[in-house]
Chain A
Amino acid sequence: MEIVPTLKRLSEAQGVSGYEQQVREIVTEIFGHHADRVRTDALGNVIALKRGDGPEPRPAVMLATHMDEIGLIVSDLEEGFIHFQTVGGHDARVLLGQEVVVHGRRDLMGVIGARPPHVLPPSEREKPIPAEKLLIDVGLPPDMLPDLVRVGDLVTLHSELTELKGGLVSGKALDNRVSVVAAALCLENLKGMRHRWDVLAVATVQEEIGHKGAAVGAFGLEPDIGIAIDVTFARQPGTPEEHTYELGKGPTIGCGPNFHPKLQEALMETADAHEIPYHLEPAARVAGTDAVDIQVAREGVPTALISIPLRNMHTPIETVAVRDIKRVGRLLAAFIAGLDDDFLDSLAWDLDLGPDE
């Protein structure tokens, strides 16, 4: 699989939380090349099964990569211009002057307009414009707009995937389409390897509004272990060193109450054995990824999180290092190939009664 062209298709596809149809079709195709079976569940998660060769009933590992993206939704029309609300976490300062696509009766390219400096008093340029005061302009005369755009239409940011130097790529929705690519790479790598466990690669919906796809996906699939793959903060100017990781220096492995310590260790051992660089990412709070809901599905699932460092998160210029995506694909495949029939037992907590009194 060619990583950048695949990522370009995924990144440029539309898939605002709850409306993932377009990206779902692409994911179904990509996962389909490497899986035994692909289906879609009731909320729209894409579930790809790659069977292991262990004896039945086989244990299964769930890989969860959300495919939804943050976006905008039309809230009102005024004199040929479009008011909107945000879906997911946006910094309104980033929206000014961006290009968008309004998914009306047909897709309409547009821009989030900015009054030119010539007509603005200096004092106005000192304040960011809140999202509710921004307007989308699709260049249609006021009488034509209502035929093509209605309240409730979705809007995605328009941003073509661009390659920078140093093996970096920049575009929209790389949170979390890069992880979808990493999961597909894992499935592809596994084709040339033997693995005893079943693999359930799940591209989840509605992560950005509360990881809802992961919750129902994990319930429906009842996996024995779950690994969420998401993005994390890459170091960049203006961010604290404590919560950021260098781009291109490997993924992070999460540690904290959301993650099973033995599963986390097993991932670290695999990374060490295959000389895949990584950092540990402490997460004191249980929040922000599909792992939150996978861990507490049904009777509970030992869960881990692998994250790809990404700059400018939740902007149209999210930036990652391609080599980090590859590394996650390799790490996941190596880990899955190493899962044996006893692995689940190794995760069990001891019933430790302590020393006799």
Chain B
Amino acid sequence: MLLEELSNAFGPSGHEDEVRRLLARALRDHVDNLQVDALGNLIAFKRGTGPEPRLKVMIDAHTDEVGLMITRIEKDGTLGFRVLGGIDDRLLMAKRVIVGKERLPGVILAPPIHLTKPEQRKQVVKREQLVIDIGATDREQAQKMVKIGEYAVFATRFDLLTDDGWRVVKGKAFDDRAGCAAAVALAEESYPVDLYFSFSTQEEVGLRGARVAAYRIAPDVAFALEGTICDDAPKKKDTSPTTEMGKGPAITVMDRTFIADRRLVRLLIDTAQAEGLPYQFKQPGVGGTDAGAIHLARSGVPSVTVAVPCRYIHAPVGLMSLQDFDNLVALMKAALRALPERFD
């Protein structure tokens, strides 16, 4: 399953090669052209079947994931790091990671409860105080295995949790490998419009890949496919769940980075209703996606984001529903077929 391979792949911002390779392999028989641009974006073109002039539609999904960067090697051979993208410090302790070019297994150390005082356990251990153990006994040995500036990601493995119910899978980096897998699924069919897929790098550090990809493609319309926040666990204070698992693809109306094009939002709603597909709106004002960069490309691009709700994004392990994923793919396929009539 492509989603499994993508989730397991190593791809922190700026180092997305492994993800790009998987995508290029999955796409090559389904598209007319594959290119990689200066920032590492994989751009795939699939010619439309409708009469010319055809709409130029950009489908974006980002390839990078939150991760760590090795910034110092201690005397005792452990590795200090900085965080790439938004990771809560509280999630780092006692986690497994994969480190560097050699893909070395490592663990983020955690002191034993027996040797910590109760008041210490009320303090968050900050990222600066944490180190990765790869089994090196001293600095010299560690330097032979890892260089400063190499990356690390969580070592989580993809798996199916339940075959029944919502068909939920666990893994890392569903933000946004879910979007990548959905985009590949779209490429397996033909549409009346011309499709330009951008598998964009460096979303987590400021929507940087999508920005140059949108400039290059100069699309008429853009869809960003995402794995988005799903904060639907019970809470003391009755705050919005952002999105809810099992309730279908989530359409963004507005987030921190952009306001979605009303016509595209309408298209998605009408298509979902016509196809009998579930959908939901993402709580406005939260998070940001590549659409934030794409809609400002050149003289402006009507854009919308549609996403698979993913619980615990930016954590070592997240959950998503394959049912929601399938519904997102079905919705997007139908919307792309309907697009020329709705948008000229």
Contacts and interface: CB of A to CB of B under 8 A. Distances in A.
Contact of B111 (A127, A135, A238): A238
Interface size grouping (class) on chain A: 35 or more
Contacts of B155: 162
Contact of B105 (A81, A163, A314): A163
Interface in A303-357: 311-317, 319
Interface string A237-270: 1111001100010000000000000000000000
Given A117-B88, A165-B145, A313-B113, A137 B233 contact: yes
B215 interface: no
Interface string A157-199: 0011011111110100000000000000000000000000000
Interface in B115-169: 115-116, 121-125, 129, 131, 133-137, 141, 145, 155-157, 159, 161-162, 164-166, 168
Nearest to A106: B162
Given A113-B312, A165-B134, A128 B170 contact: no
B289 to A, nearest CB: 11
Q: Which of B123, B245, B317 has the most CB of A within 10 A?
A: B317
A116 B113 contact: no
A162 B135 CA distance: 11
B113 A90 contact: yes
Contacts of B115: 233, 239-240, 243-244
Given A114-B315, A116-B313, A236 B89 contact: no
B111 A167 contact: no
Given A127-B122, A141-B246, A165 B114 contact: no
Interface in B290-339: 311-319, 321
B229 A313 contact: no
Interface string B92-128: 0111100000001111111111111000011111000
A91 B113 contact: yes
B161 to A, nearest CB: 5
A62 B317 CA distance: 43
Nearest to B116: A91
A86 B184 CA distance: 43
Contacts of A238: 109, 111, 129
A54 interface: no
Nearest to A129: B90
Given A111-B317, A128-B122, A170-B96, A313 B112 contact: yes
A78 B246 CA distance: 17
B143 to A, nearest CB: 13
B231 interface: yes
A282 interface: no
B110 A91 contact: yes
Given A165-B145, A317-B94, A237 B76 contact: yes
Contacts, number: 206
B287 interface: yes
Contact of A117 (B78, B108, B110, B314): B314
Interface string B34-63: 000000000000000000000000000000
A140 interface: yes
Interface string A201-245: 000000000000000000000000000000001001111100110
Contacts of B314: 116-118
A235 B233 CA distance: 38
Given A116-B313, A164-B105, A89 B114 contact: yes
Given A114-B315, A119-B242, A312-B110, A81 B233 contact: yes
Contacts of A1: none
Contacts of A93: 90, 93, 110, 121, 124-125
Given A92-B121, A111-B170, A237-B76, A97 B162 contact: no
B86 A248 contact: no
Interface of B: 74, 76, 78, 86-91, 93-96, 104-116, 121-125, 129, 131, 133-137, 141, 145, 155-157, 159, 161-162, 164-166, 168, 170, 229, 231, 233-234, 239, 242, 245-246, 286-287, 311-319, 321
Given A97-B95, A119-B229, 6 more contacts: A93-B110, A111-B315, A116-B313, A144-B165, A162-B105, A237-B74
What are the nearest 6 A-B pairs in CB distance? A139-B168, A164-B135, A165-B135, A313-B112, A166-B135, A317-B107
